[in-house]
Amino acid sequence: MKNILQKRTYRGWDLFFLMWRVSPLYAAVALVSRLLSASCATLTIYATAGFINAALAVVAGTRQLGAVMLPIGGLLGVMLYQTFVTIVIMRYINARRKIYFRKTLRPMILRHVSSLAYWHIENQDTADLISRVAPKFDTEVVACHDAVLSLAGQALSALGVVVTIMTRAWWAGLIILASAAPLMYIAKKAGERSYEAQRETSKIHRRYAYLSGVLTSRDAVEERTVYGYTDALNSIFFERFHTARKIQQRVNLKNFIKMKAGGVLGSVIAVATILTMLPAVLDGRIDYGMFIALIGGIINLSRELSWGVNSQIEEIAAKREYLRDLTAFMALETVGDATVLPAPGMDFERIVFENVCFTYPGTEKPVLDNVSFVIEKGRHYAFVGVNGAGKTTITKLLTGLYTNYTGQILVDGRSLRDFSQAELKGLSAVVYQDFARYSFSLYDNIAVGAPDADEAAVLEAVELIGLTETADKLPCGIHTPLGKVYTDGADISGGEWQRVAMARSLVNNAPLRILDEPTAALDPVGESRVYSQFEQITRGKTTIFISHRLGSTKLADVIYVLSEGRIAEQGSHSQLMAQGGLYAEMFNAQADWYADKKEREDAYA
């Protein structure tokens, strides 16, 4: 199906036509149903008038009893349509439509979100915009269409009643038409205010929704129990929840008062309209049956104008604001081939950073300041430094997540900015510090690292990284779901999860492996085993690892020491220790701590 998401300005008519572009069939069925429903009010007036007049004639003895059958049949037909067709059949069709639109539109919006430039995900304003637009895109397309169709149906229904009234008393119809304009204007303003309140509260909602996850998720249950912070977080949650609620409540209250006032005005106008028709009834221009039927029609019309039509106008006004957000969302910078698979067979001889400077969008302080270094094929590199020195930022630039740096990043003389997304993905495999934990099977958790990986490659990675014993203990081996999303799922430890993340990178055939704190969650024995197998794990690959445990840096051929966004020192472990600089100071501080710890353990032994 053609993608309806385009980089353009979405306007009022898109409220109606977006759904037609997705499914003309469902849109046409909804249109026909709404048109038939719109005719019911006028048909009810004529059928009711016919029944009353026929019944009066039967009572007077001027007509036979059979005269009431036709209008009764008309009333029964209208009632049957409204109960069976609009409630039973259309409810079933709408349920099918909801499933179809979810299946069609959610992949569409997810593909677009996945193609957004990475910095939009880390930017608070654009993250709020994404949270307003993306999660409910499929339901909003349907809601926009239904709001317009409902308004059109109610307008046609009202028009039929007004025309019927004007054929008997034209002045009464004009009174109703004149009163409709201010009521619709009030509803339009109410809708705009309502969506603006939603926009204002979206930031607060995202924050208290996060707190709700912390308070209810399994991931935080141990710390909730041990530290007992539930009450404190509850207070913050309710504070933010009530802040958002009060903002929305104030708008709703103002809208309710104005709509209620409009309802009172509509009732007054209905009574006035009925009273103006009395002279026409008395002089015979309007028969009794039509007058009684019109009373019901006018009261229903007044209610529709005061609440039904007004609520639809309010809804449409809110949906127009959603379209403005959709326009802004589609204007966000995207990466054209973001969802492609990694290019196979990538390789390099030399990666060079030349005078690279980088500042995160929305901030002023540079994270990297005139950084230059070289990565050569087949060698192992370590980046060390205090928190915030820029170590992880370098990995984000190397993987192409950010391109708004100055200076050059060259791969065999070719600018990294010129690489396609497939080439960037094929260049490196990354174990992130905050790696993902998927509620998939152990096998799939590893296989996602390389879409073309076969079971032999996954089993080799499991063996190499030391997960064989863990896999053997699981109920279904490597095909056991991890976590408790599935009934037969199993939990594993944090260290085992980190091994899973490392195995994920091992099945990937990229020439560059980036390991960001790869052993932070491992116990000392597990960490020692990983380091002892380092050569086997990294055979034939170039490796960059980031670690605060400086003992691991002995494995690196070259160590780059970052300080305040610059390369402060570089060299091998022995060279940097001989210099007696920042690296030696950090290494000795850790060594002294371990030495003191050993002395304390010996003293207590």
CA distances from 269 to 188, 286, 299, 555 (A): 21, 20, 10, 87
Residue 600 has pLDDT above 50, yes or no: no
Tens digit of pLDDT for each residue in 464-487?
888 898 999 998 899 999 887 777
Domain spans in the chain, listed from the N-terminal domain onward: 14-330, 350-436+508-604
> Does the structural domain 350-436+508-604 have CATH classification 3.90.1150.10?
no
Q: What is the mean pLDDT of residues 501-511?
A: 88
Same fold, 14-330 and 350-436+508-604: no
**What is the per-residue pLDDT for 149?**
85
**What is the per-residue pLDDT for 575?**
92
**What is the per-residue pLDDT for 603?**
35
**What is the per-residue pLDDT for 259?**
62
CA distances from 282 to 47, 48, 276, 285, 365 (A): 22, 20, 11, 8, 85
How many CB atoms lie under 10 A from the CB of residue 467? 21
For residue 452, report the phi and psi dihedrals to the nearest 5 degrees.
Answer: -100, 10
DSSP 8-state code for residue 477? G
Contact 439, 485 (CB under 8 A): yes
Q: Tokens at residue 255, please?
A: 């809208």
Residue 587 has pLDDT above 90, yes or no: no
Contact 93, 34 (CB under 8 A): no
Contact 350, 375 (CB under 8 A): yes
**What is the per-residue pLDDT for 47?**
85
Residue 598 has pLDDT above 70, yes or no: no
Contact 443, 478 (CB under 8 A): yes
Tens digit of pLDDT for each residue in 258-296?
666 666 766 777 787 778 788 878 877 888 888 888 888
Q: Tokens at residue 355, please?
A: 């005078």
Tens digit of pLDDT for each residue in 328-375?
999 998 887 888 888 888 999 999 999 999 999 888 889 999 999 999
| Higher per-residue confidence, 548 vs 494 | 494
CA separation for the pair 559, 382 (Å, rounded)? 5
CA separation for the pair 65, 491 (Å, rounded)? 78
| Higher per-residue confidence, 112 vs 206 | 112
Helix (H), strand (E) at residue 290 = helix 288-303
Confidence category of residue 406, pLDDT binned at 50, 70, 90: very high
For residue 136, report the phi and psi dihedrals to the nearest 5 degrees.
Answer: -115, 25
Residue 601 has pLDDT above 50, yes or no: no
Q: Tokens at residue 48, please?
A: 């009711």
Q: Tokens at residue 380, please?
A: 């192992």
Helix boundaries (H) for 134-169: 137-168
Average pLDDT, the chain: 82
CA distances from 202 to 28, 74, 245, 403 (A): 34, 50, 11, 29
Strand order across the beta sheet in which 542-546 lies? 428-431, 512-516, 542-546, 380-384, 558-563, 566-571
The class of domain 14-330 in CATH terms is mainly alpha
Residue 158 has pLDDT above 70, yes or no: yes
**What are 352's strand-pairing partners?**
374, 410
